[in-house]
Amino acid sequence: MRVLVVGGAGYIGSHTVRYLASHGHEPIVYDNLSLGFEEAVPGFRLVQGDLHDQSLLEKTLSEYQIQAVVHFAAFALVGESVSEPAKYYENNIIGTFRLLQAMRACNVQQIVFSSTCATYGEPDRVPIDETQRQCPINPYGFTKLAVERMLQDFHRAYGLKYAALRYFNAAGASPLGDIGEDHTPESHLIPIVLQVALGQRSHVTVFGTDYPTSDGTCIRDYIHVNDLAAAHELALQRLNDLPAMEVNLGTGHGYSVQEVIAACRRITGREIAVEFGPRRPGDPPQLVANPARANLLLGWRPECSSLENIVQTAWNWHLRHPQGYAT
């Protein structure tokens, strides 16, 4: 399938581009390179363009005879979404609306969309299945939920076929160590801990030690970026017979912040200094997926998401690219 990967030069996008190409698809990358890197998609066709540029989107969709879109282009930092909500509303909601309008204009009827467990807010029960109430507690989660609603409405009214994939905590890197996570500033737990292991930071601050969890720190469900990539490919295959789906993508197993740091110590064999700080606003105590629906509908099962493999592949990437793509 000829697929436009919007935001394809970013972290999850670039792993998915590679995965799609190795599974017989022809990905075309569309990215404004504001957060993505050309070096993350070497050898792939890249159209440098913005989500808001509807005419360039339409030109690209028709010129390349695109059959389906995979859409990653979004701002995704909870804290920033609280301090700069306008940026999130504009890009994540209005930008996606432009993309969907361009798809309508070009009669492209299939989309796989990056959604998030942040659409659930503070879940009533864990593990979280897709029937749980979606009640986001920050603007980021709300913008993703708004797009899910847009997809449902466009499906009913215009026949758009969509899969909304609700990621839990994306982590890890390509086993080759040549592409991986590179954010400035970095805010995610595993890259920060590995930067401490590399000596680039003096310590990691654990945000909150008084949560109602086994060791008092937050629990998250870490899912390897290549397992996420595989789910996109499976979703593309199923869009014709399953034209409207929402699925969780996680392992079903959660790790506390302390457990993640311990795994990083084991795998790197290095000292990792820790300081204990207050809770970070907007962090629910525990987010763990029930991935049964993704298994049932997509035949998806995480294959490389052991915490060991996540940290090992991320470590390979950081060792080879201590300054990210600038290395």
Residue span binding ligand UDP (CB under 6 A) among the ranges 32-40, 127-135, 141-149, 181-189:
181-189
AA letter at 163: A
- Considering only residues 35, 41, 165, 218, which one is a binding residue for ligand UDP as defined by CB under 6 A? 218
> Which candidate in 11, 140, 167, 211 is catalytic?
140
Q: Which residue has the CB atom at the shortest distance from ligand UDP?
A: 218
CB atoms within 10 A of CB 209: 16
- Considering only residues 17, 74, 78, 223, which one is a binding residue for ligand UDP as defined by CB under 6 A? 78
Shortest distance, CB of residue 171 to ligand UDP, whole angstroms? 8
- Considering only residues 51, 112, 165, 257, which one is a binding residue for ligand UDP as defined by CB under 6 A? 257
Does 228 bind ligand UDP (CB under 6 A)? Our answer is no
Binding mask 116-155 for ligand UDP (x = CB under 6 A): ----------------------------------------
- Angle of the 11-22 helix axis to the 225-238 helix axis, nearest 10: 60
Alpha helices in the chain (DSSP H): 11-22, 54-63, 78-83, 85-88, 96-105, 139-158, 189-197, 225-238, 257-268, 292-298, 307-320
Nearer to ligand UDP (CB atom), residue 57 or residue 164: 164
Does 272 bind ligand UDP (CB under 6 A)? Our answer is no
In angstroms, rounded to a whole number, what is the distance separating the alpha carbons of residues 266 and 251? 21
Does 247 bind ligand UDP (CB under 6 A)? Our answer is no
Does 230 bind ligand UDP (CB under 6 A)? Our answer is no
Nearest to 71 by CA among 51, 53, 55: 51
Three-state DSSP class for residue 131: coil
- Considering only residues 15, 144, 220, 293, which one is a binding residue for ligand UDP as defined by CB under 6 A? 220
Residue span binding ligand UDP (CB under 6 A) among the ranges 2-10, 151-159, 183-191, 294-302:
183-191
Three-state DSSP class for residue 12: helix
Asked whether the beta carbons of 316 and 154 are under 8 A apart, the reply is no
Nearest to 96 by CA among 77, 71, 63, 117: 71
Residue 210, classified by CB atoms within 10 Å of its CB into exposed (0-12), middle (13-18) or buried (19+), is: exposed
Shortest distance, CB of residue 123 to ligand UDP, whole angstroms? 13
Residue span binding ligand UDP (CB under 6 A) among the ranges 20-28, 102-110, 152-160, 188-196:
188-196
| Residue keyed to tokens 């996570």 | 181
| Residue keyed to tokens 């070497």 | 42
Q: Which residues pair with 91 in a beta bridge?
A: none
Does 283 bind ligand UDP (CB under 6 A)? Our answer is yes
- Is residue 19 flagged as an active site residue? no
Torsions phi, psi for 141 (to 5 deg): -60, -40
Shortest distance, CB of residue 167 to ligand UDP, whole angstroms? 9
Does 288 bind ligand UDP (CB under 6 A)? Our answer is no
Size of the site for ligand UDP (CB under 6 A): 15
The CB-side HSE value for 279 (13 A sphere, CA atoms) comes to 12
In angstroms, rounded to a whole number, what is the distance separating the alpha carbons of residues 131 and 227? 23
Shortest distance, CB of residue 65 to ligand UDP, whole angstroms? 36
Shortest distance, CB of residue 284 to ligand UDP, whole angstroms? 8
Catalytic residues: 140
Chain contacts with ligand UDP (rule: CB under 6 A): 78, 169, 187-189, 192, 204-207, 218, 220, 257, 280, 283
